[in-house]
Structure 1
Amino acid sequence: MPLRFIGIDPNTGDHESPTVWVDEEEQELVLQGWKPGPELEAECAAFRVPGHAAGIPEHEAVVRIPARMVSVIREACDALERTERLR
């Protein structure tokens, strides 16, 4: 899976690096973020809407991404839309 690096948290220090990539082949965003605390993970696991079962499946994860990365996530979405149009 060749990933295309889009951006990293502009406030990244030596020990943290929320990051956004695009997998153009799979047409997916790939996000690296902070692990949530137990309270947030429990809240997400309990969330229910139609089509969304309670719990977090073993093959999924909850991550936190800082709001200051919105422009990086937008850029990744735009990159995926461009590659989709080229298909």
Structure 2
Amino acid sequence: MALRLLAIDPNTQGGNCLAVHLDEDTGDILFQGWTEAAPQVLAEAKGNSPLAPHESLVRFPARMRETILEALRDNAET
């Protein structure tokens, strides 16, 4: 498996960064972010789409919205 970095938090100071990766073998997108743990947020999310035991909700700050969208647009055909 080869991961390609598509986007990284523009406010990063180095390690432990919020990021979006592309699995070049499968085309899958991987999100590296903050694991959401707030019970109220998880309950609301589960009301929309129940989380399987192997799934998690990952939070990204609003400042990354355009960065993520741009990265996905630029790599849409990969």
Q: TM-score range by the shorter chain?
A: 0.7 to 0.9
Q: Which runs of 4+ in 1 moved over 6 A?
A: none
CA distance 1:28–1:76, shift in 2 (3 Å): farther
1:21 to partner: Cα distance: 0.8
Distance 1:19 1:12 in 2: 10
2:39 aligns with 38
**Structure 2 residue ranges without an equivalent (≥5):** none
Q: TM-score, normalised by structure 1?
A: 0.70
Distance 1:15 1:39 in 2: 29
**Structure 1 residue ranges without an equivalent (≥5):** none
RMSD across aligned positions (CA): 2.1
Identity rate of aligned residues, in percent?
38
Deviation readout 1:7-49 (Å, 9 max, x if unpaired): 22122346752111111321222111112222111111122xx
Higher strand share: 2
1:61 aligns with 56
